[in-house]
Amino acid sequence: MQNNFSIYNSLSRRKEPFEPLHPPFAGLYVCGPTVYSDAHLGHARPAVTFDLLYRYLMHLGYNVRYVRNITDVGHLENDSDEGEDKIQKKARLEHLEPMEVVQKYMNTYHRNMDQLNVLPPSIEPRASGHIIEQQEFIKKIIESGLAYEVNGSVYFDVLKYSQDHNYGKLSGRVLEDLQTSSRALEGTDEKRNSFDFALWKKASPEHLMRWPSPWSEGFPGWHLECSAMSIKYLGERFDIHGGGMDLQFPHHECEIAQSTAALGEESVKYWMHNNMITIGGQKMARSLGNFITLDQLFSGIHPLLEQAYSPMTIRFFMLQAHYRSVADFSNEALKAAEKGLRRLMKAVGTLKMLKPSDSSTLDISGLKSKCYEAIDDDLNTPVLLSCLFDGVRYINSVNDGTERLSETDLTILSELFGTFVFGILGLKDEEENMEQGKLTEDLVNLVINMRQDAKARKEWAVSDKIREELAKIGITLKDTKDGVEWEKS
């Protein structure tokens, strides 16, 4: 199971060689969505990033277990008057059961992920299905003396934990700074310190989602599910934990503290964080009016969108930026991505038609090496794509007859594109469905033949008019030496 794969570990703040704890197995846990609203652009980034990681680990030959949770246990909303549960609040507005809301948005999320060609994880555990495990986890932390109970709620004692452990190591926080910079909480506070966090929360009378426990009828604290479920399915020590950069603090920091408190050792070997997205240089927020759901993006129905962008355009666009950089969305950038993707896919089609020569004038092995160097370097997909576009140029040049490739090199190149474009990057050809395509093809060919007749009679005005009219309905004709080609524009 040799590999040259290195990933950036947020914990060490440097790139490290990927060496799984138990080869040939690799364990990956990623924080999934909270299902209380439609999936948006912000959901797509981590999904695509870690889908890429999942695919590459499998490509390297690892037996990967990929766990991505669904958060369906609501948590208190701080800007709500009633302190209502997010999911509960939505349920009241829509007169639905909380679990009905969960189901609805979970279905949407799954559909959108499928559209983005994001592979389903090996296990998709739901927080509501692991209440027992979370309670057992709390008991362990209480046994270790690092949690305390107040009025039916249980809190993690960060100060006591920090005597023997480094709370803040992942996010670079210093406890003293947290103490002074924390905002004062209104009302009575049960916590000993503002930076303590809830492991179990007693439910208020109007709170719908509640479970019995040794401490009170209530619900688990919001950091707990990931600790409990990752360890249940991946073991007390596992390889990679991923999520958005916004989760680094406090969520992941608290996870480290909880797991260390409960198990006596840290669970995660590599922490990976994807960066955020912006729209026109601004962060996406409902209050800024630039909040775009994936369905809106795919349909183009949103005031900011000049057109619809296909799921593969979105995926390709995200892959053109490195996952640790901010990705900025704009109509201009997405249109550029759309065209770039089409060029790539066209070349894939051309590649199948290439005829081998006796020898090669291009270095295909070198290209292959560069592709692996790029992906091995902390999933550097922008560089990988630049290498693949070099390949696109190679393909087109061979097609034009200005370069040659041997049968061996042609095979390597075909495998290379198949592996990287479809297998690892997870792109797919989005051309129209087959039956529609057949009819269109027959019709277009009919018109082309009529135009060829006009051309044979040198009736240029007629042939030009046909071409222009076809262009108006989205069919572009190209007169090549070998005949007429056409494509949808």
Partner RNA sequence: GGUCGGUUUACCGAGUGGCUAGGUAGCGGUCUGCAAAACCGUUUACGGCGGUUCGAAUCCGCCACCGACCUCCA
Instruction: Please list every residue from 91 through 150 that binds RNA, using CB under 7 A.
Output: none
- Least CB distance to RNA at residue 288 (A): 9
* Choice from 6, 103, 144, 330 touching RNA (CB under 7 A): 330
* For RNA, the closer CB: 26 or 116: 116
Answer for which of 321, 348, 405, 416 binds RNA (CB under 7 A) is 321
Tell the smallest beta-carbon distance from residue 23 to RNA (Å). Answer: 27
| Residue closer to RNA, measured from CB, 57 or 199 | 199
Could you give the C-alpha distances from 179 to 173, 176, 192, 199, 257, in angstroms and in order?
Answer: 11, 5, 12, 20, 17
Site for RNA in 454-473 (CB under 7 A): 455, 460, 463-464, 467
Asked whether the beta carbons of 270 and 241 are under 8 A apart, the reply is: yes
Residue bearing tokens 């040659």? 404
- Strand-by-strand arrangement of the 238-244 sheet: 63-68, 25-30, 238-244, 268-274
Query: Binding of RNA at residue 333 (CB under 7 A)?
Result: yes
Least distance to RNA, CB of residue 286, Å = 11
Is residue 394 within 8 Å of 413, Cβ to Cβ? yes
Q: In the range 381-440, which residues lie near RNA by CB under 7 A? A: 382-383, 385-386, 389-390, 392-393, 396-397, 399-400, 402
Which of 23, 340, 356, 423 is close enough to bind RNA by CB under 7 A? 340
Per CB under 7 A, 317 contacts RNA: yes
Stretch that binds RNA, among 101-109, 135-143, 359-367, 477-485 (CB under 7 A): 477-485
Q: In the range 145-204, which residues lie near RNA by CB under 7 A?
A: 153, 171-174, 177-178, 181-183, 185, 189-191, 194-195, 197-198, 201
For residues 260-299, which are near RNA according to CB under 7 A? Answer: 276, 278, 281-283, 285
Q: What is the full DSSP assignment across 72-89?
A: -S--B-TT-SS--BHHHH
Using CA atoms, how far apart are residues 312 and 301, in angstroms rounded to an integer? 17
Going along 238-380, which residue ranges are E strands? 238-244, 268-274, 277-279, 282-283, 327-329
Q: Which residue has the tokens 């005829």?
A: 355
Report cis status (omega within 30 of 0) of the bond before 356. Answer: no
Q: Tell which residue, 420, 447, 426, has the closest CA to residue 119.
A: 426
Q: CB-wise, 81 or 358, nearer to RNA? A: 81
Q: Is position 441 an interface residue for RNA (rule: CB under 7 A)?
A: no
Contact residue for RNA among 322, 404, 444, 475 (CB under 7 A):
322
Pairing of strands 282-283, 327-329: unpaired
Peptide bond into 250 cis (omega under 30): yes
- Least Å distance, CB 31 to RNA, is 7
